[in-house]
Structure 1
Amino acid sequence: MKISFHGANKDVTGSCHLIECAGKKVLIDCGLFQGGHDLSDENTEDFGFDPAEIDYLLLTHAHLDHCGRIPLLVKRGFRGEIITSAASKDLARLVLLDSAHLQEADARAQLRKQQRHSQKRVTQDEPLYTLYDATRSFDFFGRVAHYNKAIKVAPGITATFYDAGHILGSASIYLELKEGRKTCWIVFSGDIGSKGRKILRDPVIPPPADIVVMETTYGDRLHRSLDASVKEFYQAINDTFEHGGNVIIPTFALERAQEILWYLREGVEKGKLPAAMHVFLDSPMAISATEIFRDHPECYDEEAAKLLKQKRDPFQLNNLHITHDAADSMAINRITSGAVILAGAGMCNGGRVRHHLKHHLWRRNASVIFVGFAARGTLARQIIDGAKSVRLFGEEIDVNANVYTINGFSAHADRAELLAWQKKITPTHTVLVHGEEDVMQSFASQLKNTEIHIPQKNQRFSLPDFKILD
């Protein structure tokens, strides 16, 4: 038995881990690297294994940094079975189609750029994958995993998916591995959610295991309380309106957009936000994701499920405008005050939010509210870190708007929650992935009674003793 790591090593994106057991090769996630150009280049490199030799892919959830290289995996030879939850299957289709569209658009943009700067004939760089590749990858989604019910993946390999409380359909995966006389129990955390959310249930902690492979996104900090975060959120909106400006919220399409819609609706109903406020959901992906949320009430917490039973839509409020077309999106920028604009992408590395930032960042009466994680190298991180100006569409735009970072809305567990999660599993070995290196080191210093590993990319270990192979 072996385990190897092929992404999210001392980095927050590109999750991809490989188990070899009983003659089978099982991949846990196959995510896209996101951030600066170096990470983008990393997506085109070899996986560190032969995709044609992978028998199964177990998908923890549908965020791009966990599923985004699946079409590339298929393009390079994968013919195995993808197993995930029903909600993750639906969301992954949406995410991968959107990603493929962006890959093709980026390739065309690069071609136009080369043509402008070269007198010679240039050829278009091949996109990482195409809409055809993404659509083809859907053929390999097979069995659907149900929470708390074991699936015999193959002889000697049993998987149980536990609700991770991160986004709709997200899971931590508990594997029982048997090969000859060896047995090993290993947990892959996926991304672990925070407790007390309005829509999704709290994370379920898997049973004890020999080895835990866990995310550390916020392993060095505590989140502000949710109640305090909601209060700050409402105050930021009201202050902006009093100064005659608009609010821009760079929004992740999955879970965050729906949660923000929930709090905006609740704020109006409780009189904490103005009833005349106009809200624009300006993200085709978030619009579609919200429909998928409506189709999977089995994932909801009690409060959200109760609203549905009362025939109330938890994501609907007066003066909510759903913006499908690009022309309608551009028209929003003619509104100079009294609007809340939710637009993708959450890290501002693409999508319609960049146009809204171009029209609002320089305005002193506007506000930008960040409600999610921003990886190093992204435009969101530059703004959060205090950049005086940023480059958008070839122009240098001054950052004069009020910038708020409210991490209490995070879909990720904080340090205390991660530590409590790990402690209850009582692993002999704890493997830290999906986090920045300094954050991992900080989190590692808090762990007790476990052997800690922070693997390099493509590094392999034997199981269950976790000895380095290369």
Structure 2
Amino acid sequence: MRVHFHGAAGEVTGSMHLVEAAGKRILLDCGMIQGSREAEARNAEPFPFDPASLDALVVSHAHIDHIGRVPLLVERGFAGPIYAQQATADLMSIMLLDSASLAENDAERANRKRREGEPETQPLYTRDDVQATMPRVRPLPYDAATAIFDGVELAFREAGHILGSSIVELRADGRTLVFSGDLGPKGTPILRDPATIRAADLVLMESTYGDRNHRDRLDTVRELGGIFDQAWRGQGNVCIPAFAVGRSQELLYWIAMHWDEWNMSRWRIFLDSPMAAKVAGVYEKHAELFDEQARAVWKGKPNPFHLPNLRFTESAEDSMAINAIESGAIIIAGSGMANGGRILHHFKRNLERRQAHVVFVGYQAEGTLGRRLVDGARWVRIHGRDYRVNAQRHTVGGLSAHADQRALIDWYGGFENRPPLALVHGEDKAREALAGEIGERYGVEVRLARPGVTLRV
């Protein structure tokens, strides 16, 4: 068995690793690179392998930085099956159709501004490409070892990151490869804790927060309630960039949990995403994957997806109407890193208002607008115009969907045979810190994956 690293190997987005085993070529994830304009331009470059040579694709979960180039892979020649956990399979079409729609809209906007003689901008892929991709998806349940080829067995284990997120176990050639995907912290609302794996011959582990530990989640939730109260007293809006799968559902969960304590009935709450209602439907369809507390909350009142003052805004007209509201609105919108989507339009109306609040509840990758705002930028450019940032900014890191350094070390500690470890999905500062801690504690070999590097198992 050999593993070739091609994406999220020194950065946080663009997850993509190629496994050769039992005479087959199996790709783990095919994610979109997110960040600066220059970084995202790399998505259109040729793949570092022939897509037609792949026998299968296995995806760990439905976030775009793990599935965002799958339609492009199919369009360029991949003709094999795509394996995903059942909830992930249901989320994929929603996520990819939204991604294609954004790409088409961005291309249309660029072409309207195109000067004579300049080449026409093409979207990375279209909604038709997504429709051509989805029949290849093969849903699998958790904890069911499946022979996907002669001599190759695949199993998905709970990763606790978002609904359907999976740790991937791949067995072939007498070896076991474990790919963590993205791991969630223990005690994440709604989701069950990540599974403990006891043995492997090589582990690929994410390292997004490999250099830090999160605040206590309950302290963070109290902070969130305080921000809402401060914003209400200051007569401002609250803008929250949040991924449509994961953070958005957790935010609604906490609002429902603290409905009376936080006096949430006074707010107008908007989940401003064309796919939000569809994602909510997938969550309710797969309520068997919830933890015990979440099942109780969903049966109670108010239900997180049916708050009396919650509005799902699907049309562009409904989204634009929100911008007429100067105070008393909580606006949850994508993208989660503020590098596209509807949150940008709400920023254009709110960033210059001193009474407005912007709350970051997830990781902001290098080069994104979200990262610039978190780092304290006083001016930002959105859709070709500069905006002064007067709004109050809050980074609520305790709501992260990623395990922190302590949790990553503990998860690796579950392997009784202390297998070799390669760190992926992390910037170098985070990976180096995590490698040092794990190496010192367990005395094992820790590699930092790099594009083009191959490891033999």
Q: TM-score, normalised by structure 2?
A: 0.96
Take 2:189 and 2:36, find their aligned partners in 1: how far apart are those partners? 33
Match of 1:362? 352
2:148 equivalent to 1:153: yes
2:432 equivalent to 1:458: no
Measure how far apart 1:126 and its partner are: 2.5
Q: Secondary structure at the match of 1:315?
A: helix
Between 389-398 and 11-20, the greater mean CA deviation after superposition: 389-398
Q: Secondary structure at the match of 2:414?
A: helix
The 5-angstrom pairing of residues 417-432 of structure 1 reads: 417-425=407-415, 426-432=417-423
1:234/1:273 contact within 8 Å kept? no
Q: Relative to structure 1, is the Cα distance of residues 303 and 450 closer, same or farther in structure 2, using a 3 angstrom cutoff?
A: same
2:94 equivalent to 1:103: no
The 5-angstrom pairing of residues 339-350 of structure 1 reads: 339-350=329-340
The 5-angstrom pairing of residues 191-270 of structure 1 reads: 191-269=182-260
Q: Secondary structure at the match of 1:132?
A: helix
Residue deviations 1:134-178 (CA, integer Å, cap 9, x gap): 110112112x22111111121221111100000000100112111
Match of 1:415? 405
Measure how far apart 1:288 and its partner are: 1.9
Take 1:458 and 1:100, find their aligned partners in 2: how far apart are those partners? 28
Take 2:304 and 2:192, find their aligned partners in 1: how far apart are those partners? 15
Measure how far apart 1:332 and its partner are: 1.1
Between 236-245 and 35-44, the greater mean CA deviation after superposition: 35-44
Take 1:247 and 1:309, find their aligned partners in 2: how far apart are those partners? 28
Segments of 5+ residues of structure 1 without an aligned counterpart are 465-470
2:328 equivalent to 1:338: yes
1:172/1:206 contact within 8 Å kept? no
Segments of 5+ residues of structure 2 without an aligned counterpart are none
Between 38-47 and 410-419, the greater mean CA deviation after superposition: 38-47
Take 1:127 and 1:33, find their aligned partners in 2: how far apart are those partners? 15
1:220/1:415 contact within 8 Å kept? yes
Q: 1:164 is matched with which residue: 146, 159, 167? A: 159
Take 2:327 and 2:102, find their aligned partners in 1: how far apart are those partners? 31
Match of 2:133? 137
Take 1:279 and 1:18, find their aligned partners in 2: how far apart are those partners? 43
CA RMSD of aligned residues (A): 1.4
Measure how far apart 1:311 and its partner are: 8.6
Match of 2:82? 82
Match of 1:303? 293
Residue deviations 1:433-460 (CA, integer Å, cap 9, x gap): 1001111111111013211111221222
1:265/1:316 contact within 8 Å kept? no
Residue deviations 1:366-421 (CA, integer Å, cap 9, x gap): 10011011001000000000001111222211111110000111110000000000
Measure how far apart 1:210 and its partner are: 1.5
Measure how far apart 1:194 and its partner are: 0.9
Take 2:181 and 2:264, find their aligned partners in 1: how far apart are those partners? 38
Q: Relative to structure 1, is the Cα distance of residues 428 and 322 closer, same or farther in structure 2, using a 3 angstrom cutoff?
A: closer
Q: TM-score, normalised by structure 1?
A: 0.94
Q: Secondary structure at the match of 2:229?
A: helix
Take 1:316 and 1:260, find their aligned partners in 2: how far apart are those partners? 13
Q: Secondary structure at the match of 2:26?
A: strand
Measure how far apart 1:356 and its partner are: 0.7
Take 1:111 and 1:312, find their aligned partners in 2: how far apart are those partners? 46
Q: Which runs of 4+ in 1 moved over 6 A?
A: none
Identity, % of aligned pairs?
Answer: 43
Q: Secondary structure at the match of 1:89?
A: helix
Take 2:280 and 2:384, find their aligned partners in 1: how far apart are those partners? 33
Q: Which amino acid aligns with 2:120?
A: Q
Between 419-428 and 337-346, the greater mean CA deviation after superposition: 419-428
Q: Which amino acid aligns with 1:237?
A: F
Measure how far apart 1:333 and its partner are: 1.5
Q: Which amino acid aligns with 2:152?
A: I
